[in-house]
Amino acid sequence: MKSALLLLSYGSPERIEDVDEYLKNIFNGKQVPEAVREENLKKYEMFGGRSPSNRIIESIGKKLQDRFGGEIDVLLAYKHWNPSIEEIAGNLAGYDNVVAMPLFSFYSESVRDSYLNPLLAAFKRYNISARMEFVNGLANNDLFQPMWANIISECTGSKTFHIFDAHSLPNAQREEDYLFWLRYSTYKISQILGISHSDFGFQGGHEGWLGPSIYSLIDKIEEKNVTVIPISFLYDHLEILYDLDYEFRKALEARGKIYTRVKMPNDSPMMINLIDRVTRSAITHLSGEMINRGTSTRVRAESRT
């Protein structure tokens, strides 16, 4: 029985010369607002012309492949860069089981649609007959909270205010599960670590998106030391390095606060263990279905953690 793990992520250009093409992909070929273009060029220029995200994800893929050996093949695909979801989906012919996993912490309707819809369309286009399990968020696995608790414990102290930071999403009325897992995870992690002064907020939102903004929390913080925990993210990219470490740091320091940000899971052993466990559980589930239903195959997508 042949199985594959398809790691899905946003993607990022490798050269500043490719930022225009990247933004064109994000805007589906429409005119990119000049302000958006200038802001993104500024971000990439500050970090040598590229984000660290692709290299981190490649390292995650390699470490997982080394662990799986020939048991499970690991493939990478990006929503807005190369190799694209459509391109990689064409390589899945011949697999019995496919676990599709966006590298995102929490169950989300918006995230699911943005990855699953093009993936299912590509399966249909290439006539892929594998069973597929779509993992919508990793927070429900029992390794998620201990992983973050361990990370936070290395960067905390008394008299510190903790901001649990999450990515804002559109269609707030559809994201009840996202909010549940965010609240539940931050509550449980705070219990584990004995954190008493904390709140959560969102970054990157627009009008009508999930709130409150992390900026709205600043004037409510009495403590001088502020530790930011980007709990809905899993690896370093420009939304962490620029939006938090540069822009949000400036806002905090302007009010006399000291900014600290915990490290990200990235390609750490804890992160590899988490993805390994979720992948094997999903493949066991799919393999059990195959035994129960015979040898016929079909595309199957669930939101399962």
For the chain, percent of residues with pLDDT exceeding 90: 86
The pLDDT value given to residue 295:
36
Q: What pLDDT digit, counting tens, does each position of 157-213 carry? A: 668 999 999 999 998 889 999 999 999 999 999 999 999 899 999 998 888 899 999
Assigned token pair, 93 = 């012919």
The pLDDT value given to residue 205:
82
Q: What residue type is assigned to position 276 of the chain?
A: D
Q: What pLDDT digit, counting tens, does each position of 210-263 carry? A: 999 999 999 999 999 999 999 999 999 999 999 999 999 999 999 999 999 999
Looking at domain 3-139+268-293, its CATH architecture is: 3-Layer(aba) Sandwich (3.40)
Q: Band of the pLDDT at 290, cuts 50, 70, 90?
A: low
83: CB partners within 8 A, 6+ apart: 76, 77
CATH of domain 144-261: 3.40.50.1400
Alpha-carbon distance 280 to 67, whole Å? 12
The pLDDT value given to residue 29:
85
The pLDDT value given to residue 303:
44
Lowest mean per-residue pLDDT among 67-81, 146-160, 183-197: 146-160
295: CB partners within 8 A, 6+ apart: none
Residues of the chain with CATH 3.40.50.1400: 3-139+268-293, 144-261
The pLDDT value given to residue 155:
81
Other CB atoms closer than 10 Å to residue 226's CB: what's the count? 23
For the chain, percent of residues with pLDDT exceeding 70: 93
Assigned token pair, 194 = 């004995």
Residue in the structure block whose two tokens are 């008394």: 158
The pLDDT value given to residue 289:
63
The pLDDT value given to residue 291:
45
Q: How confident is the model over 38-64, as a mean pLDDT?
A: 95
Residues 262-289, buried b or exposed e (16+ Cβ, 10 A)?
bebbbbbebbbebbbebbbbbbeebeeb
Alpha-carbon distance 110 to 116, whole Å? 10
**Interstrand relation of 97-102 and 160-167 (parallel, antiparallel or unpaired):** unpaired
Distances (CA, A) of 4 to 61, 76, 121: 12, 10, 18
